[in-house]
Structure 1
Amino acid sequence: MNNSQTLRQKLACLFEGTGQYRRAGHILDIALISLIMINVVAIVIESIPSVVEQYYNEFLVLEIVSVAIFAIEYLARLWACVDKTQYAAIKGSNTKRRLSYFFSPLAIVDLIAILPSLMMFLFPLDLRFLRVLRLLRVFKLTRYSRAMQLLLKAFNDEGSSLMAAFFIMAVVLILASCGIYLIEHDIQPDKFGSIPAAMWWAMATLTTVGYGDVVPITPLGKFFGGVITLLSMGMVAIPTGLLASSFSEQIRKRRQFFEDAVHEQIQNGTLNDTQQEHLEELRYKLGLSKLEANKAIKTQLNEHNGHLFCRHCGKRP
């Protein structure tokens, strides 16, 4: 039992990339990222009939090996999650902790990465849509990309604001569709014969795409289309601005959190090896560059030492 527990703790540290397993965890992340990218490229190339006929066996071997590795990783993470800091704090049994991890977004992405292939192996059918679903493996990169995690955090924090912005866009979409339908449906019944048909033009115009396949031809319709085009610039800028500001705020919070951690670790104006190791692990988890981390450490050290010595004579007060 003790050996099993020790192995589980080692796996948890390896997946978290903490302690003595920080370098090994980093290497594991790079290996899995490489395997994911190879799979994505292979799935795209596999859509070429001449290539898949010539290298069918090679694609099949790659798929089997990849699914086996991803499945082992998924089961290992599910088993070791009870010793991860985030889930160890959950009160209750290990089953409760594993269920909490099982329904987490990252665990669901890991499951989706192997589920389509397992269904293809279990059911002897040419399920093309399942083959395409294998491209969802690219979302596994979310686990290893700090920038993607920041973006998801920004989506989560600005969820209510984004919903409000999309609601406004939906109202404008309906109004634009109704307006162009009333103006153009008699002149172009094939393109603006109904409000749902007019929504294609409204969507293309509001998103500033403007395919040009459906356009108003009456003077009033052109004027109305111009107004909608100008209005669409502000509509598109709302969610973009919200995400940009939230993304910047997430970066600022992480930098501030690291600076606060440095401030807590400083003793007697220096940092020992243990403290530096702890800060290095924190830097990696927060996705900060070494330049940013060194700048924060230098700033905190200067502020700390500035309080220890007199600004005028340079002596301790």
Structure 2
Amino acid sequence: MNVTRALTPIDRGIVAALQVNGRAGWRRIATVLDAPERTVASRGAELLRSRQVRTTYFTVLPQGGVLDSTVVHARCASGMNRLTATAAAERPTSVFTYLTTGDADCVFELMNERARSLSVILDEIPGLPGAVGIETSTVLKLYKGTHQWLPGILSPDQVAALRDKEQAWEPTGAVELAPLRREEQEIARILAADGRATIEEIARATALSPASARRRLAHLQESGRMFDRAVVEPAILGFPVEAILRIRTFPGRTESVAKRLTRVPEVRYLAFTTGRHQLFVDIACTDHAALANFLMRADWTEDAVEVDTAIVLHALKRSGVRLDN
């Protein structure tokens, strides 16, 4: 697990607010947290400066095409774990990259255009340095993305006061996405580097009027092409134990298990995939006892045939952002 120090209560509140709305102003966040605006602005700026939290926008297939999301489990030669994980994290289409315990030493997700998937899966991924075994599974349905993870720090009323609108998710591989226009790709580039870039900054960089820049950004979000994310280590929010679960369910019970798991606050990511295990889960817990309690809960395990659990030792990349850069 990434070694980090837990934040103070006010800092945790600020980060939680940015998870709901990464572009919310400090005054708005201060009002929701019932804290002095000067304190919130000062602490928020320091959290961003120190990169304890990074606001970014993740863009889905800016060049267009049909989305293929693939989860890769890689076994590595002895002592080569970090090299393999680094190579995976450096791939521009990788979303997250973890070093883990268990059968796989490195787990990562790739988002490719479908026409590229054959070459990537058959030729490029097996050639990662240090990899001696590769297992891939295709994401068929996303139940919960990390951009939807709210760790329970804020009340429902506070979340509602911060949220402008729920971010939709385009069903995986459901439609062919059109290429983004030049101005839209520039908006995506700017916000990937700084999710809190102002509309005026975006307008200057794209030669659009502020009103046009605001409309283009709203369209990208509403159409499910761009997602506002606050990238943060779960540990600093009080969830230092992160685990990857692969769940095999009884036939016909996958949907039931998935719906129960989406209601678990600790679940950060949940997808229905191909392969021996139907569900892929990323969960963050307060400690090992909390993880053990979750794994023994009857409400979802009664329909599970097999649960493979691996601890996340280190995250090199989250939401497309390299954490060691």
TM over 0.5: no
| Structure number having the greater helix percentage | 1
Q: Give me the TM-score of the superposition, normalised by structure 2.
A: 0.24
